């Protein structure tokens, strides 16, 4: 049942404030700052984490790497499952191996998990389908509580994966003593305030839809982001190519002058994911390099960020302000809406894009 929406994807994008609230309720209760349900996940004696997944779930892992390293100081290695499984990487008993999968049935991710069995200290999974193979074969399976996701393009599962991975980062930091109780409490309060901000972000839909009509004319689109927003750029590009069939690439903003800047011309829109965090100024200077070469910048930032970026930008999508660490979850909304409306404008099959399956159970 599409609940009145034209596509499952639209419904699933709109459900995010609700399902994230439910995930927050599950892991933090109705009030307070204490984390629940992670008591049996000990970070004692853990020197490294490896995180393995495919597609959008892999990008969730890349965001989580920034969080876990920053908050808990544990080195994290992230890999796509198809590479990890055949590389025979060293995995010792000081390693937590973590697998992220919406379906819990992705063949490569499951094979990577099996490779780590008997080697890693703990096998942890972050899954949507609780009775899936990946969940069953893990020592600890953490539910993301996104509810059934039908659209082939993953949306609410991504933001729920991020919510659970942030919770895990907070728990690791708590156990390690790397985060003051005050900062922990502030972050949990900010997380509780996130669904309201997601609702505000959803309200930008009209603007995003208009821009999407113009984006639908492009043959190629670039996405840029820095730090924890780099994986969001990757996710925005994947979503766009998946359902609109427009060629889209993402780069870490700082990589621009190492090659991709050669692609810039007035026909290549450049989507810049830039919340006003510590790296904002750097991203603005990358944007200016794009504009100086006639590139069309679509800036996604908050009001002040858009103001600071100046007149030269082509289009902008305004996000509400948010605690820095939560920006990847919030900025997932415009990334998804852009892809969705561009695909609708092009008339492609949004929920069942060509050549793709919801669950990739063969390698």
Instruction: Give the active site residues.
Output: 358
Task: Give the whole-angstrom CA distance, residue 285 versus residue 269.
Answer: 17
Do 45 and 148 meet the contact criterion of CB atoms below 8 Å apart?
no
User: Does 55 participate in binding ligand M6R (rule CB under 6 A)?
Assistant: yes
Can you list the positions of beta strands (E) in the chain? 48-53, 76-80, 95-101, 122-127, 140-143, 220-225, 247-252, 269-273, 296-302, 315-319
Q: Which is nearer to ligand M6R, 231 or 305 (CB)?
A: 231
Q: How far is CA 270 from CA 258, 344, 354, in A?
A: 16, 20, 25
Q: Which is nearer to ligand M6R, 288 or 352 (CB)?
A: 352
Q: Which is nearer to ligand M6R, 54 or 264 (CB)?
A: 54
Do 75 and 82 meet the contact criterion of CB atoms below 8 Å apart?
no
Q: By rule CB under 6 A, what count of residues binds ligand M6R?
A: 16
Residue with the closest Cβ to ligand M6R?
A: 55
User: Does 57 participate in binding ligand M6R (rule CB under 6 A)?
Assistant: yes
Q: Which is nearer to ligand M6R, 205 or 242 (CB)?
A: 242
Which residue from 106, 133, 159, 167 is in contact with ligand M6R, where contact means CB under 6 A? 106
User: Does 103 participate in binding ligand M6R (rule CB under 6 A)?
Assistant: yes
Q: How far is the CB of 345 from ligand M6R (least distance, A)?
A: 19
Q: Interface with ligand M6R by CB under 6 A: which range of 67-75, 116-124, 148-156, 200-208?
A: 148-156
Do 63 and 328 meet the contact criterion of CB atoms below 8 Å apart?
yes
Segment holding 7, helix H or strand E: none
3-state secondary structure of 102: coil
User: Does 242 participate in binding ligand M6R (rule CB under 6 A)?
Assistant: yes
Q: Which is nearer to ligand M6R, 102 or 138 (CB)?
A: 102
Helices (H) and strands (E) in the chain, counts: 15, 10
Do 135 and 104 meet the contact criterion of CB atoms below 8 Å apart?
yes
Which residue from 24, 38, 76, 102 is in contact with ligand M6R, where contact means CB under 6 A? 102
Q: Which is nearer to ligand M6R, 105 or 205 (CB)?
A: 105
Torsion region of 170: left, alpha or beta (phi above 0 gives left; psi -120 to 50 gives alpha): alpha
Q: What angle (nearest 5°) sits at the alpha carbon of residue 260, between those of residues 257 and 262?
A: 85
Q: How far is the CB of 109 from ligand M6R (least distance, A)?
A: 5
Only one residue has tokens 């697998």, namely: 99
Q: Interface with ligand M6R by CB under 6 A: which range of 97-105, 200-208, 249-257, 261-269?
A: 97-105
10 Å Cβ neighbour count for 246? Answer: 22
171: nearest Cα among 314, 328, 27: 27
Which residue from 16, 82, 109, 184 is in contact with ligand M6R, where contact means CB under 6 A? 109
Task: Give the whole-angstrom CA distance, residue 330 versus residue 101.
Answer: 20
Which residue from 51, 54, 135, 274 is in contact with ligand M6R, where contact means CB under 6 A? 54
Q: How far is the CB of 167 from ligand M6R (least distance, A)?
A: 18
User: Does 231 participate in binding ligand M6R (rule CB under 6 A)?
Assistant: no
Task: Give the whole-angstrom CA distance, residue 181 versus residue 33.
Answer: 9
Which residue from 16, 82, 101, 184 is in contact with ligand M6R, where contact means CB under 6 A? 101
Q: Name which of residues 332 to 361 contact ligand M6R (CB under 6 A).
A: 359-360
Q: Interface with ligand M6R by CB under 6 A: which range of 114-122, 152-160, 183-191, 286-294?
A: 152-160
Do 363 and 107 meet the contact criterion of CB atoms below 8 Å apart?
yes
User: Does 153 participate in binding ligand M6R (rule CB under 6 A)?
Assistant: yes
Q: Which is nearer to ligand M6R, 135 or 299 (CB)?
A: 135
Interface contacts to ligand M6R, rule CB under 6 A: 54-57, 101-103, 106, 109, 152-154, 238, 242, 359-360
């Amino acid at each position: 049942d599409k609940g009145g929406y034209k596509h499952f994807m639209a419904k699933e994008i709109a459900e995010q404030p609700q399902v994230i609230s439910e995930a927050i309720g599950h892991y933090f209760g109705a009030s307070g700052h204490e984390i629940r349900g992670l008591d049996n996940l000990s970070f004692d004696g853990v020197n490294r984490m490896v995180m393995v997944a495919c597609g959008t779930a892999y990008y969730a892992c890349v965001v989580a790497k920034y969080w876990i390293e920053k908050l808990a100081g544990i080195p994290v290695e992230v890999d796509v499952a198809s590479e990890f499984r055949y590389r025979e990487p060293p995995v010792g008993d000081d390693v937590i191996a973590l697998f992220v999968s919406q379906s819990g049935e992705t063949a490569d991710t499951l094979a990577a998990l099996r490779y780590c069995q008997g080697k890693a200290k703990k096998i942890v999974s972050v899954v949507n389908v609780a009775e899936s193979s990946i969940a069953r074969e893990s020592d600890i399976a953490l539910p993301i509580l996104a509810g059934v996701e039908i659209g082939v393009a993953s949306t609410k599962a991504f933001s729920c994966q991020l919510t659970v991975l942030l919770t895990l980062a907070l728990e690791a930091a708590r156990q390690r003593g790397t985060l003051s109780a005050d900062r922990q409490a502030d972050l949990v309060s900010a997380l509780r305030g996130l669904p309201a901000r997601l609702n505000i972000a959803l309200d930008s839909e009209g603007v995003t839809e208009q821009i999407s009509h113009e984006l639908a004319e492009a043959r190629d689109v670039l996405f840029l982001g820095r730090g924890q927003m780099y994986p969001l750029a990757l996710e925005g590009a994947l979503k766009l190519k998946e359902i609109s069939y427009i060629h889209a690439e993402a780069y870490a903003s700082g990589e621009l002058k190492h090659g991709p800047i050669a692609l810039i011309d007035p026909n290549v829109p450049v989507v810049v994911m830039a919340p006003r965090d510590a790296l904002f100024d750097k991203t603005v200077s990358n944007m200016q390099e794009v504009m100086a070469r006639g590139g069309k910048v679509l800036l996604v930032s908050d009001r002040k960020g858009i103001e600071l970026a100046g007149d030269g930008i082509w289009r902008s999508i305004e996000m509400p302000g948010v605690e820095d660490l939560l920006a990847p979850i919030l900025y997932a909304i415009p990334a998804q809406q852009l892809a969705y409306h561009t695909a609708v404008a092009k008339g492609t099959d949004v929920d069942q894009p060509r050549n793709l399956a919801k669950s990739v159970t063969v390698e």
